[in-house]
């Protein structure tokens, strides 16, 4: 099942084009160590551990497949530990079914072929639960060390992955409380450091809107990647938690059912609740992709529900997996399309039919990195560019401020921005568009890549 999950993720690594977040990874990882540290002091400081890893990885190349390959490996690792955790908690078949369900999730196809740290975070979270089970099973010192290391990996892969850790407190018991608390505290040191850095850089996520409890209604779709499959798996997950509780209580009628059903349910349900709480108490941070770490819990609980059937569990597992594939086939296809990351720069390059002396202006200067990455033919003159290197403290580029003077020798200018046509052509959403108009140009052509937010390519000609 680990191989299946890895293959599923890897199958999409070279299909969809890189989006802005992935190009930010390339930009950060391509800098010197000193340059990365300077960047971390201004933006994305909580991604520094991942950027450090990618700094050495990209020395072998920056092709799409190579950039995304570590995420596919992380998905395979997550599936392996998920299968073994299912075996430990229930049975071999529960682990296998859970890993198989995990492998067919569209979110796995997306984040397993995504040059960001989300797949790493999911793998680290599964590892932490697996390591905690081993430590509770036999509380040897080295097992607690492994658990502490796993928690540190959770904290280092993505800041909001730590929201799964409160669920592990359901597993604390008197005999191991001191050792568990010590390992958990030591492992959370990176979270404290990166959290302080992230709080100081919260201006970088000012684009995130405030959310309300209604986002929880969309959570099944977010975790699974599609609504139908998400609702099905959530129903199975509830059943899986209840059956695990009943099985634990059956082994010890005097017990309350054992803590693991609550830990797994907390793994699935606490992160969206806590993320929304942080959004309202500190600063808006609720973004769906921050919650990918809950997907393994959804798959594992669903696998346990199917495995608990007294008969025909193999047939039931096949039905669930095949039905899941049927319910999500369109989403799997969508994430493997060229525009699967909703920022299709190769499409934009095909739209741009440049003539000699055409100019180009970017609505957001960081878009330039994507055009530099994909352009394989003569581009229009980048009239605002003042240097090849991005800003030391960000992903944008230094530009000339006098657009009118920069366009004085040009009769046509291509303007490209991230977002819809309306966002740039109406109101004052894109400053560069208005500056081009004030320089004496009027709109001649406008095309949008389709899915939101997408890219808009326009051509302005001198009046």
Q: What is the pLDDT of residues 87-97, one digit of tens each?
A: 999 999 999 99
Q: Residues 83, 10: one domain?
A: yes
Q: What is the mean pLDDT of residues 106-124?
A: 97
| DSSP, residue by residue, 91-133 | -HHHHHHHHHHHHT-HHHHHHTT-SSSHHHHHHHHHHHHHHHH
Q: What is the pLDDT of residues 377-397, one digit of tens each?
A: 789 999 999 988 999 999 999
Q: Residue 223 pLDDT more than 70?
A: yes
Q: Residues 246, 359: one domain?
A: no
Q: Residue 15 pLDDT more than 50?
A: yes
Q: What is the pLDDT of residues 224-234, one digit of tens each?
A: 999 999 999 99
In a domain, 407, yes or no: yes
Q: Residues 243, 301: one domain?
A: yes
Q: Residues 260, 228: one domain?
A: yes
In a domain, 119, yes or no: yes
Domain count, the chain: 2
In a domain, 340, yes or no: no
What is the pLDDT at residue 14? 74
Give the phi and the psi of residue 206 in degrees, each rounded to 5.
-65, -15
What is the pLDDT at residue 253? 45
Q: Residues 317, 360: one domain?
A: no
> DSSP assignment, residue 440?
T
User: Given the structure tokens 């000339």, which residue do they identify?
Assistant: 400
Which of 317, 335, 353 is a domain's end point? 335
Q: What is the mean pLDDT of residues 47-64?
A: 97
Q: Residues 378, 450: one domain?
A: yes
Confidence category of residue 257, pLDDT binned at 50, 70, 90: very low
29 contacts 58 by C-beta, under 8 angstroms: yes
Structural domain for 16, as ranges? 2-335
What is the pLDDT at residue 426? 86
What is the pLDDT at residue 1? 59
Q: Residues 330, 363: one domain?
A: no
What is the pLDDT at residue 255? 42
Q: How many Å separate Cα 463 from the centre of its chain?
A: 45
In a domain, 429, yes or no: yes
> DSSP assignment, residue 399?
B
Q: Residues 358, 318: one domain?
A: no
Q: Residues 49, 182: one domain?
A: yes
Confidence category of residue 199, pLDDT binned at 50, 70, 90: confident
- H or E, element range at 405: helix 403-406
- For 455, the 3-state DSSP assignment is strand
């Amino acid at each position: 099942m680990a191989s299946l999950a890895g293959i599923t993720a890897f199958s999409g690594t070279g299909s969809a084009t890189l989006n802005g977040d992935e190009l930010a990874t390339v930009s950060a990882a391509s800098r010197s160590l000193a340059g990365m540290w300077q960047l971390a002091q201004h933006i994305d400081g909580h991604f520094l551990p991942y950027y450090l890893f990618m700094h050495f990885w990209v020395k072998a190349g920056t092709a799409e497949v190579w950039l995304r390959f570590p995420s596919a490996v992380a998905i395979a690792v997550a599936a392996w530990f998920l299968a073994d955790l299912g075996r430990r908690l229930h049975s071999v078949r529960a682990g296998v079914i859970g890993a198989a369900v995990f492998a067919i999730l569209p979110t796995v196809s997306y984040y397993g072929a995504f040059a960001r740290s989300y797949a790493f975070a999911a793998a680290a979270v599964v590892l932490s639960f697996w390591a905690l089970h081993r430590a509770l099973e036999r509380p040897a010192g080295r097992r607690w060390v492994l658990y502490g290391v796993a928690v540190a990996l959770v904290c280092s892969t993505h800041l909001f992955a730590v929201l799964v850790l409160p669920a592990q407190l359901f597993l604390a018991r008197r005999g191991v409380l001191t050792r568990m608390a010590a390992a958990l505290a030591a492992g959370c040191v990176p979270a404290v450091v990166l959290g302080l850095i992230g709080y100081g850089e919260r201006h970088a996520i000012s684009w995130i809107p405030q959310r309300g409890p209604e986002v929880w209604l969309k959570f099944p779709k977010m975790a699974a990647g599609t609504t139908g499959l998400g609702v099905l798996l959530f129903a199975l997950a509830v059943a899986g938690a209840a059956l695990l509780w009943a099985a634990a209580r059956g082994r010890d009628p005097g017990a309350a059912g054992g803590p693991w059903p609550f830990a797994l349910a907390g793994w699935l349900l606490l992160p969206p609740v806590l993320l929304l709480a942080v959004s309202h108490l500190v600063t808006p941070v609720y973004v769906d992709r921050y919650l990918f770490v809950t997907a393994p819990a959804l798959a594992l609980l669903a696998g346990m529900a199917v495995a608990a059937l007294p008969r025909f569990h193999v047939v039931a597992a096949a039905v669930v997996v095949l039905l899941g594939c049927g319910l999500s086939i369109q989403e799997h296809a969508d994430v493997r399309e060229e525009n699967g990351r909703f920022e299709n720069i190769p499409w934009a390059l095909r739209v741009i039919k440049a003539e000699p002396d055409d100019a180009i202006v970017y609505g957001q200067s960081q878009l330039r990195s994507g055009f530099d990455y994909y352009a394989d033919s003569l581009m229009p003159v980048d009239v605002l560019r003042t240097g090849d290197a991005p800003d030391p403290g960000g992903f944008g580029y230094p530009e000339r401020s006098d657009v009118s003077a920069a366009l004085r020798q040009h009769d046509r200018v291509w303007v490209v921005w991230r977002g819809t046509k309306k966002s740039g052509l109406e109101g004052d959403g894109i400053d560069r568009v208005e500056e081009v108009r004030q320089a004496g140009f009027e709109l001649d052509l406008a095309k949008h890549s389709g899915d939101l937010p997408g890219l808009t390519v326009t051509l302005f000609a001198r009046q």
